[in-house]
Amino acid sequence: MRIRDLLCMVFICLGYTCLVAQESELTIPKPNASQLAWQQAEMGAVFHYDLHVFDGKEYQQGGGSGNRTNPVPDYQIFNPEELDTDQWIRAARDAGFKFAILTATHETGFALYPSDVNPYSVRALQWRDGKGDIVGDFVNSCRKYGIKPGIYLGIRWNSFFGVHDFKVNGEGEFQKNRQAYYNKMVEGMVTEICTRYGELFEIWFDGGASHPDLGAPDVLPIVKRYQPNCLFYHNNQLAEARWGGSESGTVSYPCWATFPNPYSHAGDTHGDHIQLLKHGDPDGKYWMPAMSDAPLRGYNGRHEWFWEPGDEDHVFPLENLMDMYYRSVGHNSTLIIGLTPDPTGLLPEGDVRRLKEWGEEIERRFGVPLASTDGKSEVIDLVLPRSARINHIILQEDISKGERVRKYSLEALIDDQWKEVATGQCIGHKRIQVIDTIEASGIRLKIMQATSRPLIKEFSAYLVD
């Protein structure tokens, strides 16, 4: 180590000590176990399946929720004769997804499992003689393939029961009675979902579950009671993860896992607040990592969560998916991709193939690093194999102890000279740093600013060609 480097380190240490004097390791926000698992999973799928998959029509072409709030005329069209949730989950696994979520209900209000409190469910079908349980099949397939199962519940809309943005349509005493009934029905469904299918990884309330004080069902205590290890996403009381502000499968950089409020947006998705969702707040007191979400069929003028005819060519190409991966997982955000089985009950072959390609490409690029290290100091050196060529660096904090790094730089030892090749702010669970291809014998991570002692659990270099 030369004098220059030594001096540099001393200055960094001094700066660091000043910073941490103001904030204790004990008080910085940290993830709970479910948040930690959710971030470590990095990628998951959300399977969308509902009545209108079977009607051969296109929706949302006019924007908004379109006519999904118009009841599907004949629910008996729901007839996935070749349903095979194993095939769904194998496809998710092959993409590298670690968890999978299923829309147990969506905007129609139709339940994919045989509810005892919502008659508008698979039990009403001729399909499988009313004995089908897609949630059950789904969870079983997840467990079979080591994928963590989660459930998505749409309670904000219900085209059948007549619920519009949480409010039962209507007026007077009649409306009031039906609202009370609906809330109880929803709470019953949440209880069923939380008690019938074992431990769940995430419960995702479509558009949030509002707030009981606003007349919405009181779902939080139910999830907390029956699924204490499940990530709760979300209502106006609590968000254990937040929406990353777009459905592009990406978040902006930096994207902090902390937030100023215990809830994420409570319906506010405009202006400054959308920026807050995208970036988070490094000074926020609440741990709330960002989700990047996008439908797989979101390419070239379409953006469709549900299977619809003729969308085969709208499956994202591999390069778009890789870009998405960099700007979600690589930006400290968990990526959730929307998949949607077709009316036969299978995920379409093209989608399955693309997912496999994607998983293989991620593995090809990042499966084995050229070199890897870790460290608990403000300067960490990564020694590279002799004159290695590299163009990707991956950094990971041990976020179980919080997000500590605020500012860092990366230097490369090229021809015996340390040269800055990248800078950054947030590392969090994962930062994928793309740099121009260089030939270097070492990489140095310098943490210029942190709220507490940095805990770098992964510092790796890759050459991607």
Residue placing its CB nearer to a second copy in the complex, 160 or 226: 160
Contact 123, 189 (CB under 8 A): no
Residue placing its CB nearer to a second copy in the complex, 184 or 376: 184
Query: E strands of 25-96, at which residues?
Result: 43-47
Least distance from a second copy to the Cβ atom of residue 121, Å? 7
Sheet with strand 371-375: strands edge to edge: 371-375, 456-462, 379-397, 431-450, 405-414, 417-424
Residue placing its CB nearer to a second copy in the complex, 11 or 174: 174
Cα–Cα distance between 395 and 456 in angstroms, integer? Answer: 7
Least distance from a second copy to the Cβ atom of residue 271, Å? 28
Provide φ and ψ at 371, rounded to 5°: -160, 155
Residue placing its CB nearer to a second copy in the complex, 157 or 316: 157
Cα of 75 vs its chain's centroid, Å = 31
Least distance from a second copy to the Cβ atom of residue 191, Å? 12
Burial class (CB in 10 A: 0-12, 13-18, 19+), 198: exposed
Contact 461, 421 (CB under 8 A): no
| Structure tokens given for 123 | 């039990």
Q: Going by C-beta distance under 8 Å and a sequence separation of 6 or more, which residues neighbour residue 6? A: none
Least distance from a second copy to the Cβ atom of residue 181, Å? 4
Residue placing its CB nearer to a second copy in the complex, 11 or 181: 181
Residue placing its CB nearer to a second copy in the complex, 77 or 274: 77
Least distance from a second copy to the Cβ atom of residue 277, Å? 28
Least distance from a second copy to the Cβ atom of residue 178, Å? 5
Binding region for a second copy (CB under 8 A):
67, 69-71, 73-76, 114, 116-117, 119-121, 123-124, 126, 130, 159-162, 164, 168-171, 174-175, 177-178, 181, 184
Of 371, 373, 369, 378, which Cα lies nearest the Cα of 455? Answer: 378
Residue placing its CB nearer to a second copy in the complex, 192 or 202: 192
Least distance from a second copy to the Cβ atom of residue 54, Å? 15
Contact 395, 447 (CB under 8 A): no
Least distance from a second copy to the Cβ atom of residue 458, Å? 51
Residue placing its CB nearer to a second copy in the complex, 64 or 271: 64
Cα–Cα distance between 439 and 422 in angstroms, integer? Answer: 15
Cα–Cα distance between 434 and 464 in angstroms, integer? Answer: 10
Q: Going by C-beta distance under 8 Å and a sequence separation of 6 or more, which residues neighbour residue 388? A: 370, 371, 439, 440, 441, 461, 463
Q: Which amino acid type is present at position 93?
A: R
Residue placing its CB nearer to a second copy in the complex, 175 or 246: 175
Least distance from a second copy to the Cβ atom of residue 58, Å? 18
SS3 (DSSP) at 249: coil
Cα–Cα distance between 333 and 315 in angstroms, integer? Answer: 22
